[in-house]
Amino acid sequence: MRRIVLSVALLVSLAAGVQPAAAAGVDHTDFRYLRPLVAGANDEPVLVEPDGALFEHSLPGFADLRITDAHGHEVAWRRAPSRRSATAQAVPVLNSGRQGHFAVALLDLGAQRKIRDRVMLEVPDWGFVGRAVVFGTDNRHGPFTRLSATGIYDARGARPARSTVAVFPPSDFRYLLIRATGVSRITGASVSSARERPRLLRRTARLRSLRQDGKRTIVTLDLGFRNVPVDELRIAAEIARYERPVEILGSDTRQRFVALTTARIFRFPGSASAPISIRAHHRYIRIEVENGDDAPLRGIEVSAWSRSRALLLEGGHPPPYTVYYGSPRANAPNYDFARLPTGALEIERAVRGRLGPARENPAFEPPPDTRSFAARNPGLVTGALALAALALGAVGLLALRKRA
Q: Based on the fold, state whether residues 313 and 353 are members of the same structural domain.
A: yes
Q: Based on the fold, state whether residues 300 and 328 are members of the same structural domain.
A: no
Q: What is the pLDDT of residues 74-127, one digit of tens each?
A: 999 999 987 655 568 999 999 999 999 999 999 999 999 999 999 999 999 999
**For residue 269, what are the domain limits?**
200-307
Give the amino acid at 133: V
- In the predicted model, what is the mean pLDDT of residues 226-238? 95
- In the predicted model, what is the mean pLDDT of residues 47-67? 95
Q: Based on the fold, state whether residues 252 and 271 are members of the same structural domain.
A: yes
- Evaluate whether residue 294 is within a structural domain: yes
- Evaluate whether residue 365 is within a structural domain: no
DSSP state letter for 64:
T
The domain tally of the chain equals 3
Q: Which of 23-37, 225-239, 253-267 has the lowest mean pLDDT?
A: 23-37
Separation of first and last alpha carbons in the chain:
65
How wide is the angle at C-alpha 170 spanned by C-alphas 169 and 172, nearest 5°? 125
Give the amino acid at 216: R
Q: Which of 196, 230, 255 is the last residue of a domain?
A: 196
Give the amino acid at 151: G
- Evaluate whether residue 385 is within a structural domain: no
DSSP secondary structure, 168-225, as one string:
EEEE--SEEEEEESS-S---EEEEE-GGGSPPEEEEPPSEEEEEEETTEEEEEEE-SS
- Evaluate whether residue 21 is within a structural domain: no
Q: Yes or no: say if 150 and 165 are a contact pair by the CB < 8 Å rule.
A: yes
Q: Based on the fold, state whether residues 285 and 209 are members of the same structural domain.
A: yes
- Evaluate whether residue 12 is within a structural domain: no
Q: Which of 166, 196, 226 is the last residue of a domain?
A: 196
Q: Based on the fold, state whether residues 110 and 182 are members of the same structural domain.
A: yes
More confident residue, 5 or 36: 36
Confidence of residue 234 (pLDDT cuts 50, 70, 90): very high
Residue 21: its pLDDT value, please? 34
Query: Residues with Cβ < 8 Å from 233, sequence gap 6 or more?
Result: 248, 275, 276, 278, 285, 287, 302, 303, 304, 305
DSSP state letter for 248:
E
Task: Encode burial over 33-70: b for 16+ CB neighbours within 10 A, e otherwise.
Answer: bbbbbebeeeebbbbbebbbbbbbbbeeebebbbbbbe
- In the predicted model, what is the mean pLDDT of residues 50-57? 96
Q: Based on the fold, state whether residues 130 and 72 are members of the same structural domain.
A: no
Q: Based on the fold, state whether residues 119 and 181 are members of the same structural domain.
A: yes
d(CA 219, CA 291): 13
Check whether 379 has a pLDDT greater than 70. no
- Evaluate whether residue 381 is within a structural domain: no
Residue 97: its pLDDT value, please? 95
d(CA 276, CA 264): 9
- Evaluate whether residue 284 is within a structural domain: yes
Give the amino acid at 232: E
Residue 268: its pLDDT value, please? 85
Q: What is the pLDDT of residues 268-292, one digit of tens each?
A: 887 878 899 999 999 999 999 999 9
Q: Based on the fold, state whether residues 56 and 141 are members of the same structural domain.
A: no
Q: Provide the CATH number for the domain around residue 188.
A: 2.60.120.260
- Evaluate whether residue 16 is within a structural domain: no
Confidence of residue 377 (pLDDT cuts 50, 70, 90): low
Residue 365: its pLDDT value, please? 87
Q: Which of 196, 216, 237 is the last residue of a domain?
A: 196
Check whether 210 has a pLDDT greater than 60. yes
d(CA 48, CA 351): 9
Of 158, 150, 151, 161, the C-alpha closest to 127 is 161
Confidence of residue 385 (pLDDT cuts 50, 70, 90): low
Q: What is the mean pLDDT of the chain?
A: 86
Q: Based on the fold, state whether residues 94 and 191 are members of the same structural domain.
A: yes
